[in-house]
C-alpha cells in the first residue's frame, strides 16, 4: 500500500462476505494498523482516544466486529470464522499487510489472524490479552448441549460480563467511558464470546514480531500484569512494555503513552526490515 495523504479517521460501511460491515479508517502513511476491540463494546469505544495519535504516522483500520461491536450482525461463531471475515475485510479495503493490535478478546483474535494468515501480519501487539487454546473435546461436547452451554454462559458472565468488573479494569474507574457500563453486561456480546470459547482454534504461534503491551493496574481475573510478563517470557524475541497508572484498557487511560509505545514498536520493526525496495 503506497503512502496516502492524511485523512481523518471516519466510519465507512462496506460489504464483507455479503453483509454490511462497519469500519473506521483513516490516517496517513503506508503502514496499516488493524485495531481489534474486545468483548466490551466496539471500535470507537476502544480506540477513539488513540486513533488520531496513531493516525499521524500510520493508516488506521478499526472494524466493529460482528456480534461484539456491530450488534446488527450475529457473531461469526469461532475464531477461524472471524479470521476469514477479517481477511475479507482487508481485501475489500485493498490492504495486503497490517500490524495487528488487539485488546482483550481482540488480542486473542489478533493472535489467531497472525497465526492463520502469517503473510498478512507484519507485527503483532497483544494488549492485556492472550491466545486461546484449542477447545478440549469434552468442553466442546458439553457446550453443544443446552445445559452445558447454560453452565458455560453463567461462568463466562460471572468472570467477564458484569458491571462490578469495571472497578478492577481501570486504575481509576472514573476514567471508564459511560458507554462501557452497558457493554460490560451486554447479552449479545456474551453469546458471541461463548461461541468463540467453545471453538478455540489453537492457532499456530505467529511468526511476526510481537509486543506484549500491558496496563500495570489491570486487576481483572486472568489478566494481571504478571500474566503479561509470563506471556512475553514464553514468546521468543517478544518485547514487553507495561504502562503505569493504566488497567485493562491502557489506550483509554494513558492514550499518549500507549501511542508512543506502539509507534516505537512499529518504527523499530520498519527499521529492522530496512528500506522499502519499491521506494524511489
Per-residue pLDDT band at 275 (split at 50, 70, 90):
low
Query: Does residue 277 belong to any structural domain of this protein?
Result: no
Which parts of 219-254 fold into alpha helices (H)? 225-234, 250-253
Per-residue pLDDT band at 93 (split at 50, 70, 90):
very high
What is the share, in percent, of the chain residues with pLDDT greater than 90?
66
Specify the pLDDT at position 280.
Answer: 37
Query: Does residue 205 belong to any structural domain of this protein?
Result: yes
Query: Does residue 124 belong to any structural domain of this protein?
Result: yes
Query: Which cell numbers in the block locate residue 189?
Result: 456480546
Specify the pLDDT at position 274.
Answer: 62
Number of structural domains in the chain: 1
Regarding beta strands 59-63 and 98-103, do their DSSP bridges make them parallel or antiparallel, or are they unpaired?
A: unpaired
Specify the higher pLDDT residue, 140 or 60.
60
Backbone angles phi, psi at 96, to 5 degrees: -90, -45
* Predicted confidence (pLDDT) per residue in 100-136, tens digit: 999 999 999 999 999 999 999 999 999 999 988 888 8
Query: Does residue 32 belong to any structural domain of this protein?
Result: yes
Query: Does residue 276 belong to any structural domain of this protein?
Result: no
In sequence order, which residues have a C-beta less than 8 Å from that of residue 273 and are 6 or more positions away? 122
Specify the pLDDT at position 143.
Answer: 78
Query: Does residue 209 belong to any structural domain of this protein?
Result: yes
Per-residue pLDDT band at 3 (split at 50, 70, 90):
low
Query: Does residue 280 belong to any structural domain of this protein?
Result: no
Query: Does residue 22 belong to any structural domain of this protein?
Result: yes
| Model confidence at 34: pLDDT above 90 | yes
Per-residue pLDDT band at 137 (split at 50, 70, 90):
confident
Regarding beta strands 210-215 and 121-127, do their DSSP bridges make them parallel or antiparallel, or are they unpaired?
A: parallel
DSSP annotation of 70: B
Q: Are 258 and 54 in contact (CB under 8 A)?
A: no
Secondary structure of residue 19 in the 3-state scheme: strand
Specify the pLDDT at position 232.
Answer: 96
Residue 142, domain extent: 4-271
Give the CA diameter of the chain.
63
Specify the pLDDT at position 5.
Answer: 64
CATH code, domain carrying 136? 3.40.50.1820
Specify the pLDDT at position 4.
Answer: 55
Q: pTM score, two decimals?
A: 0.91
Find, among 114, 113, 85, 96, the residue nearest to 23 by Cα.
85
Amino acid at each position: 500500500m503506497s503512502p496516502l495523504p492524511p485523512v481523518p479517521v471516519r466510519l465507512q460501511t462496506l460489504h464483507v462476505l455479503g453483509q454490511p460491515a462497519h469500519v473506521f479508517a483513516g490516517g496517513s502513511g503506508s503502514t496499516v494498523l488493524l485495531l481489534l476491540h474486545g468483548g466490551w463494546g466496539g471500535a470507537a469505544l476502544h480506540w477513539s482516544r488513540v486513533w488520531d495519535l496513531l493516525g499521524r504516522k500510520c493508516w488506521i483500520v478499526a472494524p466493529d466486529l460482528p456480534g461484539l461491536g456491530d450488534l446488527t450482525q450475529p457473531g461469526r461463531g469461532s475464531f477461524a470464522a472471524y479470521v476469514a471475515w477479517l481477511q475479507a475485510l482487508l481485501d475489500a479495503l485493498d490492504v495486503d499487510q497490517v500490524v495487528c493490535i488487539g485488546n482483550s478478546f481482540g488480542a486473542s483474535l489478533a493472535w489467531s489472524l497472525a497465526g492463520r494468515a502469517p503473510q498478512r501480519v507484519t507485527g503483532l501487539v497483544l494488549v492485556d490479552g492472550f491466545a486461546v487454546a484449542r477447545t478440549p473435546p469434552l468442553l466442546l461436547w458439553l457446550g453443544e448441549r443446552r445445559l452445558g452451554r447454560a453452565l458455560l454462559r453463567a461462568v463466562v458472565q460471572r468472570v467477564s460480563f458484569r458491571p462490578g468488573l469495571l472497578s478492577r479494569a481501570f486504575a481509576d474507574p472514573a476514567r471508564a467511558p459511560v458507554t462501557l457500563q452497558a457493554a460490560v453486561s451486554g447479552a449479545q456480546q456474551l453469546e458471541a464470546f461463548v461461541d468463540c470459547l467453545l471453538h478455540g482454534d489453537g492457532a499456530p504461534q505467529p511468526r511476526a514480531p510481537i509486543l506484549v503491551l500491558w496496563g500495570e493496574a489491570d486487576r481483572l481475573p486472568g489478566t494481571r500484569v504478571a500474566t503479561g510478563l509470563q506471556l512475553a517470557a514464553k514468546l521468543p524475541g517478544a518485547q514487553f512494555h507495561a504502562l503505569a497508572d493504566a488497567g485493562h484498557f491502557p489506550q483509554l487511560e494513558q492514550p499518549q503513552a500507549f501511542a508512543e509505545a506502539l509507534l516505537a514498536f512499529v518504527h523499530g520493526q520498519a527499521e529492522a526490515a530496512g528500506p522499502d525496495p519499491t521506494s524511489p
